Structure 1
Amino acid sequence: MITHLKSRHPEQHQDFLKSKKEKMLAKTHQQPLLQSFDKARKYSSDHPKVKDLNDKIIEFIALDNQLFSVVEDVGFRRLMMHLEPRYAMPSRRYFSDVALPELQSVVASQIEKLLAGACHISFTTDIWTSSVSPVSMLSLTAQWIDEDFTLKKAVLHSQECSGSHTAAAIASAFESMFGKWKIERERVHVVLRDNARNMAKAMMEFGVTCLPCMAHSLQLAVNDGVLSQRSVADVVAVGRRIIGHFKHSQLAYSRLADVQKELGMSVKRLQQDIATRWNSTFYMMRSLVEQKRALGAYAADFELPATLTANQWGIIENMITLLAPFEQLTRDISSAEASAADVIPAVVALTRLLGRPNDMDRGVQTTKTTLLEAVNHRFNGMHCEALYSVATMLDARYKDRYFDEEKKRSARDLLLKVLDDMSGSADASTEDPPEKRTRTGSLLDMYDEILEENVMFEEQDKTASVSQVISYLAEPTIPRNHSPLEYWKCNQARFPALALAARKYLCAPCTSVDSERLFSVASDVMDEKRNRMDSEKAEMLIFLKKNLPLEIEVVNLTCSSPIGTHNLIIELTDLPCHHKWSLPLCK
């Protein structure tokens, strides 16, 4: 068009050039001046950009356990000034007294909406005492299964528990916590707690179903069966002295590292145990065996506070072999997916393993027998607990395969009763079974009696619930590495009554690990640098640290492909402020 004007319309072309020159002059003189004023002018406190940056900073403080004073540090302020010169950063008081409660309120309201849609919720609880400040905290975590058979978890409380930890005080605290979240007792499926008597009594006074933590029971069983024996206790004490020597001397560790290098071994540090966690003692013994050659060479040139004899080394190696299944079980039940359905199968498999002779039992047969007795004692009543039995039946990996004939019949009756109670109908299947006919002592009567015992369940009136149970149990189990929740998501149309019960019973954990992990976060929040922080702010920070990542969901995932690169555009919009990143990906 410009070429056409120049060749065919010279007068109009001259007017065009004149107009273009005037615009360029105006832009050259005025725009830089306006931009200079804009860049020098700070954002107002109600500007959307300020609100967005404030939200990002309080999220950064909560997610990364940062001090509130980080906003006053020179390096951080220089960084923010470089990123956004017009942003006037508020004081630390603003973030601790205003921004923190606002973010906590936003996340709490989202969790409250999720809890309102949950019909049955399971909880874990525990009490923790800080080592850097005179503060004790009572935890409350929740988990439930939504309509899509996805396991949901949230931290509700880690509030201060002052005064004496009596059952009445704990029950009162629970009533306050449940009232705050508007959770009725009817929706409380079970509360997992430790084996302390005050906690068990508190749950009884509060009027909710509770179960002991399986990991704690396993700890007590190992202590009763193994660690309390004199020979093992002596070996553990010697091991602690050896590791303590290296823990308190950097020179000793440097010498040990040199010995490891000379022997062609990888440089590893010895692992100290914690008396209240038996598996840490297992890891300590294993680290000693791994470094047996290095420790022997070290002892030849340098002094050790104690040494292990050949017999004691043998005891350690036997203990590692004997306790390896317990370590595997502890890891399994401490996983995020573990549920109450894992208790009966785990204990049945463990007791069968301990009761079976093995070539590796030399020297530890007595200990193995004692350990089996301790496990049977600690888990004696697990089959009598309806929650364990019904949860196991509803787990498609186990069903009724881990019950003997007598317990299998009881478990089926319990499952039918649960289905009846949840449906609100009086199914004939839950009525008392008909009385058996008195048989004579003839051989033909014995044939009839055996057939009757094995078909009694199928001969009951086949209501909808009974038909579902019969069909469900007749099918093979799914592999152990498959998800039972995924099974029910795919089969809820076939077994609607069982799927509804599965949402209730499979949401129960088998340990209180969630609460214990919560207190690991609490120890990071209330550390030596923040030992004077009040408990209310500490609870807010713990609440956000655990719950804020759960609210981040990818809601829009698109890819654009410029020449030579691929960019992944991710938007996160469930947080109070909008997130968007462009991540370069390989072609």
Structure 2
Amino acid sequence: MDEGGLLGGKFLFKKLPDGLLDKTRVRCTICKAEFKYHRSSSSLAYHLRAKHPTESTSTGPRQSTLQEYGACGRITKNVREKVTNSLVVWIAKNCRPVSIVEDDGLREVIRAASGDECYNLPSRGTIVSRLHTLYGDQRAQQSSKLVQVRNDKVTTLGTDSARNMVAAARLLPFEHMPCMAHILQRTVTVSLNDSAFERALAKCRKIVGHFKHSPANAQELKAQQAAHGHQTEPLVQDVPTRWNSTLEMIKRIQRNKFGLTTILTQQNSKVTMLTDQELDRLQKLEELLEPCRYVTELLGGERYVSCSMVLPALCHLFRIMEPSDDDPVYVLRFKKIFTTDLAQRRDSSNLTWLKIATALDPRFKDLKCLSKDERREVWASVHDLLMSETDAHQPSAQTTEEPSPKKSKMSICLLGSPDSDKEEEEDAIDCCLNLYKAEPKIDIGECPLQWWLKREGAHARLAPIARKYLSTPATTVPCERLFSLSGHIIQKKRASLSSDNVNRIVCLSNWLSAKKD
């Protein structure tokens, strides 16, 4: 009740003749009407809304009804379902532990974002059940895609160059394709171990260890990077099994050489900075290793055909590693070891498969990475493949109980000999190959599989063979990434995960990431 009256002074208590106030009766200040008052202003508020709508005012805060409380400040059932499904996708895609739904911090974040102070995260059982459902749906989608594939599902087996893997691949009824990125990195390792760069690289490793093992030194390096206007970045230690790590170590030391020199000089440390001569050698080594990094990343792509790019990429490396009159002796030695080792590893790989894949790629069908004699051999191999495919699809002769009628001499002369049929078939195959060779080359960024899909009608006999060879991955890098992902999932705090759950998490993470890309 207001001090000056009721409802903002719109109603006043009736004044008695003796000057006292009658608390049982009130009078409207607008229309002077009198009302009984029994400690409730509901009828007075109704009078204002009915007779004086312009004068009606809010009666202040009031208690919400159950329906209003449920609708105001609470997320709806549909939104709650959407949040739960989003949590399931996030946990699967980023390989988060299911127990994260018991995190109070995550619950408070969702409450703040939704405005619902009563929101509670779904239980672990709900998340696990949704994960199994999501895995089943995604697996069904992937299976339906595999069913639609017209070629053989498995044509080649890709492994690294370990002896046990190569020996196992020989026992299986598939073509073996060694990982070309792994082969290239093994060549880099062999070339570095027997080169004049090893002393400078050893000093680089000591410098990196000096700054990585000391937080104080790392902080000084950050200050020097900021003072020189460089990007704040830690140094990188090279690891033999980590591809391109030696190149990254060199590049970061080169970018931060002034800051490193200042810090090591001020500290008067036993670890010394590289000399100008050693820095020059590292610059030469960086120029030699940069093309190897480019080829490794090119062949390790997951979104484009890479098998047919192996020979052109290796040909590019061989051209770069050709000796030059301006090269120092230590560079010439590195190039000689590199080209000799890479040539041996290339020749021991499945070179025939790679050559045919390159020929069937409309980006590289001119085969400039091969000699003229090798080009003729490749096209002869493609010709034989077409001939064998034709023979495989011809119906076999079946004997019947009824003897075949005798052919007259005239019919035998008109039908011709089997040799003439074979010659006609070979002419048709030559025409098919010439038609493909006459097609214009496509840009390096275009997809050859899409090219064959659009022109399958014009090259009906060659298209299935092209799909078979071009679908072969050049490296096992995508599989290695999945192995690394499994290593991140199976940790000390998640050691009780079953193999089925690990399989579900790895597959879902890969499938959901690919769908977004």
TM over 0.5: yes
Instruction: State the shift of 1:546 in Å.
Output: 0.9
1:109 aligned onto 2:73: no
Alignment deviations for residues 212-257 of structure 1 (CA, whole Å, 9 cap, x no partner): 1001101111122x21126323322221110111111121122223
Q: 1:71 aligns with which of 101, 105, 111?
A: 101
1:376 is matched with 343
Q: 1:287 aligns with which of 245, 248, 252?
A: 252
Counterpart mapping for 1:34-183 below 5 A: 35-36=67-68, 54-78=84-108, 82=114, 89-96=121-128, 98-120=129-151
Rounded Cα–Cα distance in structure 2 between residues aligned with 1:250 and 1:88: 41
CA separation of 1:209/1:86 partners in 2, compared to 1, >3 Å: closer, same or farther?
Answer: farther
Q: Say whether the 8 Å CA contact 1:391–1:506 is kept in structure 2.
A: yes
1:243 is matched with 208
1:138 is matched with none
1:234 is matched with 199
Rounded Cα–Cα distance in structure 1 between residues aligned with 2:323 and 2:274: 30
What SS does the corresponding residue of 1:364 show, helix, strand or coil? Answer: helix
CA separation of 1:110/1:486 partners in 2, compared to 1, >3 Å: closer, same or farther?
Answer: closer
Q: Say whether the 8 Å CA contact 2:239–2:245 is kept in structure 1.
A: yes
1:507 aligned onto 2:471: yes
CA separation of 1:275/1:50 partners in 2, compared to 1, >3 Å: closer, same or farther?
Answer: same
Counterpart mapping for 1:133-532 below 5 A: 187-224=153-190, 226-229=191-194, 231-302=196-267, 303-336=269-302, 337-357=304-324, 359-361=326-328, 363-382=330-349, 385-399=351-365, 400-424=367-391, 463-532=427-496
Alignment deviations for residues 439-470 of structure 1 (CA, whole Å, 9 cap, x no partner): xxxxxxxxxxxxxxxxxxxx996543321211
Alignment deviations for residues 333-366 of structure 1 (CA, whole Å, 9 cap, x no partner): 1222242111112222222332252534554112
Q: Say whether the 8 Å CA contact 1:222–1:278 is kept in structure 2.
A: no
Look up the equivalent residue of 1:107 and give its one-letter code: Q
Q: Say whether the 8 Å CA contact 2:260–2:273 is kept in structure 1.
A: no
Rounded Cα–Cα distance in structure 2 between residues aligned with 1:389 and 1:214: 14
Q: Say whether the 8 Å CA contact 1:318–1:363 is kept in structure 2.
A: no
Q: Say whether the 8 Å CA contact 1:257–1:267 is kept in structure 2.
A: yes
CA separation of 1:103/1:277 partners in 2, compared to 1, >3 Å: closer, same or farther?
Answer: same
Taking only aligned residues, the RMSD between alpha carbons, in angstroms, comes to 3.2
Q: Say whether the 8 Å CA contact 2:98–2:124 is kept in structure 1.
A: yes
TM-score by length of 2: 0.73
Q: Say whether the 8 Å CA contact 1:60–1:66 is kept in structure 2.
A: yes
Look up the equivalent residue of 1:72 and give its one-letter code: E
Higher relative contact order (CA 8 A, sep 6+): 1
CA separation of 1:331/1:361 partners in 2, compared to 1, >3 Å: closer, same or farther?
Answer: farther
Look up the equivalent residue of 1:380 and give its one-letter code: D
Look up the equivalent residue of 1:509 and give its one-letter code: P
Alignment deviations for residues 62-114 of structure 1 (CA, whole Å, 9 cap, x no partner): 12332212222223335556567897754213423x22222212211111111
What SS does the corresponding residue of 1:188 show, helix, strand or coil? Answer: coil
Q: Percent of pairs identical after alignment?
A: 27
Rounded Cα–Cα distance in structure 2 between residues aligned with 1:548 and 1:261: 39
Rounded Cα–Cα distance in structure 2 between residues aligned with 1:548 and 1:542: 10
Instruction: State the shift of 1:330 in Å.
Output: 1.4
Q: Say whether the 8 Å CA contact 2:196–2:330 is kept in structure 1.
A: no
Rounded Cα–Cα distance in structure 2 between residues aligned with 1:388 and 1:85: 62
Q: Say whether the 8 Å CA contact 1:191–1:208 is kept in structure 2.
A: yes
Rounded Cα–Cα distance in structure 2 between residues aligned with 1:279 and 1:325: 11
Question: Structure 2 unaligned runs (5+)?
Answer: 1-49, 51-63, 395-422
Rounded Cα–Cα distance in structure 2 between residues aligned with 1:53 and 1:312: 57
CA separation of 1:537/1:407 partners in 2, compared to 1, >3 Å: closer, same or farther?
Answer: same
Look up the equivalent residue of 2:153 and give its one-letter code: R
CA separation of 1:247/1:532 partners in 2, compared to 1, >3 Å: closer, same or farther?
Answer: farther
Instruction: State the shift of 1:539 in Å.
Output: 1.8
Look up the equivalent residue of 2:379 and give its one-letter code: R
Alignment deviations for residues 106-131 of structure 1 (CA, whole Å, 9 cap, x no partner): 211111111111233xxxxxxxxxxx
Q: How many matched pairs?
A: 421
Rounded Cα–Cα distance in structure 2 between residues aligned with 1:424 and 1:37: 78
Instruction: State the shift of 1:54 in Å.
Output: 4.1
CA separation of 1:94/1:67 partners in 2, compared to 1, >3 Å: closer, same or farther?
Answer: same
1:577 is matched with none
Rounded Cα–Cα distance in structure 2 between residues aligned with 1:116 and 1:83: 46
Alignment deviations for residues 416-454 of structure 1 (CA, whole Å, 9 cap, x no partner): 222233344589xxxxxxxxxxxxxxxxxxxxxxxxxxx
Instruction: State the shift of 1:401 in Å.
Output: 2.8
